[in-house]
Each structure stands twice: as C-alpha cells, then as structure tokens.
Amino acid sequence: MSLKDRRDGKYIKPSGSIAVIFPYIFDRRVDAEVSSKIEFDLEELCKYVDKKNKKGDLEYKMTYFHAIMACFGVVFFNRNKLNRFIQNKRLYERDKIIFSFIAKDKMTDNADEKIICLELNPEENAVQMSKRMAIDVFRSKNEGKNDFDDVLKIFTSLPGWLLGTIVRFVKFLDRHGWNPKALTEGDTNYSTVIFSNLGSIHSNSCYHHLNEYGTNSIVITIGTIREVEGRRKVDITFTLDERIADGFYFAKSVNMAQDIALHPEVLDQKLSKKYEWKD
C-alpha cells in the first residue's frame, strides 16, 4: 500500500506529461468538466426488459432504468479508468463501483427524496442487480432515511456560523482523504456515477454540474424514452471530469454502452465478464 493511497482509492501514477500537468492547470473539478448529450437506441434493451417481466418469474419488476444502469455496469467493470477521481491534484482509482441516484417517495413537490447508493457486485447479472435496486428503493421509502440522512440532519440543526466552520473542516478532511466513513458511505458525492432518471418525471436529459466536494467524477442524466421511426430511443447526457481519462477513452466507453443496449442478452451473464465487441 502506497503512502499516497486513500481509504477510498488507490493512488495511480499519471501516464504522460499531459495527465501529470492537467490537475495543476485545472485544479478544480468544475474547471475540467465536459458534457455531451447522446441519443441511445433502446429498442432491443426495452424488448429484453419486456420479455423478462412478461415471463412473470421475477420477484421484483425490472424497469428500463434498471436495465440502462446494468448496461453501464458492464462498461464500468470493463473500463477501469472510469472509476477514477482526482483529489488534491492526485489521481486515484476506487476498489468499488458505486452507482447512486435519488428516489422520491411520491411524485409531488414536497415529497421526501431518498439517497440510494448501490455497490455493484461483479458476480451479479442484470436481473440480480435490478432486484437489489428495487429492494433498496422499497426499504428506503418504507423504512425511512439512511444513516447518511441522519448525519445531515444533525449538521443542519446547527447554527449557521458553526455549520460553516464544520463544513470547511470537513472539506479539508475530504481533500486529504481523511473523512470518516460516517461522512462518505451513503453520500452520492462519493459514488462512481450519479444517475438522474429524469424520464421518471417526464423530463428531458440535461447537463448536470460536477461537485468539488467528494470524489464523484461522472454524472449521467437520462431523459424520457420516446419512439423514433418505430424504435424506442432516449437522450442521455454525460458530464465528466476529463482529467481522469482522455476523450477517446470516454467516446469508446459510450459506444460500448450503446452496443450492449443493442445486444442485451449479454446482461444475463455476470456484469464483470469481459465484453468483446468491435467499435
């Protein structure tokens, strides 16, 4: 274990002069973010989900959102650079892949929002991953907030001057990787990807900024699925920290996700299986 390692990431020595100097030129994550909206063909993936649900042997119904996340699960297991982050001008790689999203109790303005952080299991397939997601959402909605919500409640009950002082201290700990697990586990800011399923509220995908706090380097928003010339398609918008990998690596990763969606039968295999394809 290197002295430069963090509890939540292994230090990676940058490869190439550009990778070395980038974090010094763009020392903030928001300065290095890039965003792109891409139309995905989901027709085969939707058929895959419909077929699974029609069989009637699933304990929990699989949704299109679950299946899309499973596609990206395969990508992230196959493309390890996507699971990296820059903190304090150093490059790190997580030993876990964590997908996070927000689930609302009800589709109303004042409904509570519940944080869901799902650690991907390399031995699971899409159906098993979908089941865990459904269970997590169900428990969150019926059993109350998670432990991180309780931590936030304590902080937000403090007077403003004290809260500001504590937040500055927490951000200092965050920068050096010294934050305790109570402040990182269950926090979307420490996940590999933050997903936003805007299609669930009948909205289009949109650009979503990255945050300076935490280690999250990628945000993905998913719009409303629509029919185009007889095929179901959706706009997906990616925002990412370009310091963790180059544009070619990101583009190939997106193309892999689209290829998986067009050949969803691979989701019956474990998500971590090496994916062979021609770009």
User: At the top level of CATH, which class does the domain 10-268 belong to?
Assistant: alpha beta
Highest mean pLDDT among 105-109, 148-152, 201-205, 216-220 belongs to 216-220
> Per-residue confidence at 129, pLDDT binned at 50, 70, 90?
very high
Measured CA distances, 225 to 28, 73, 143, 198, 199 (Å): 34, 20, 31, 10, 7
Per DSSP, the residues of 180-248 read -GGGTTT-GGGSSEEEEEGGGGT---------SSSS--EEEEE---EEETTEEEEEEEEEEETTSS-HH
Verdict on whether the full-model pTM lies above 0.85: yes
pLDDT digits (tens, 9 = 90+) for 45-100: 999 999 999 987 788 899 999 999 999 999 999 999 999 999 999 999 999 999 99
Residue pointed to by tokens 């998913």: 222
The domain locations on the chain are: 10-268
pLDDT digits (tens, 9 = 90+) for 152-185: 777 777 888 888 898 899 999 998 889 888 888 8
Give the single-character DSSP code of 250: H
Average pLDDT over residues 6-22: 90
- Give the per-residue pLDDT at 57: 76
What torsion do the CA atoms of 125, 148, 82, 201 make, to the nearest 10 degrees? 70
Both tokens of 260, joined, read 């998986």
- Give the per-residue pLDDT at 94: 95
- Give the per-residue pLDDT at 185: 87
CA distance 248 to 81: 12
227 contacts 202 by C-beta, under 8 angstroms:
no
- Give the per-residue pLDDT at 40: 98
User: CB under 8 Å to 221, separation ≥6 — which residues?
Assistant: 195, 196, 198, 205, 206, 207, 208, 236, 237
Q: Among candidates 34, 77, 33, 38, which has minimal Cα distance to 254?
A: 38
Give the single-character DSSP code of 40: E
Average pLDDT over residues 118-127: 96
Mean pLDDT, rounded, of the chain? 90
Position 114 pLDDT exceeds 90:
no
- Give the per-residue pLDDT at 144: 59
- Give the per-residue pLDDT at 109: 60
Measured CA distances, 146 to 8, 44, 66, 115 (Å): 20, 35, 21, 7
- Give the per-residue pLDDT at 59: 84
- Give the per-residue pLDDT at 212: 92
CA distance 34 to 210: 10
CA distance 99 to 191: 6
Q: Among candidates 179, 251, 183, 189, which has minimal Cα distance to 218?
A: 189
Average pLDDT over residues 40-47: 98
- Give the per-residue pLDDT at 16: 82
- Give the per-residue pLDDT at 77: 97
What is the 3-state composition of the chain as percent helix, strand, coil, each rounded to the nearest 5? 45, 20, 35
Residue pointed to by tokens 């974090």: 23
Average pLDDT over residues 24-52: 95
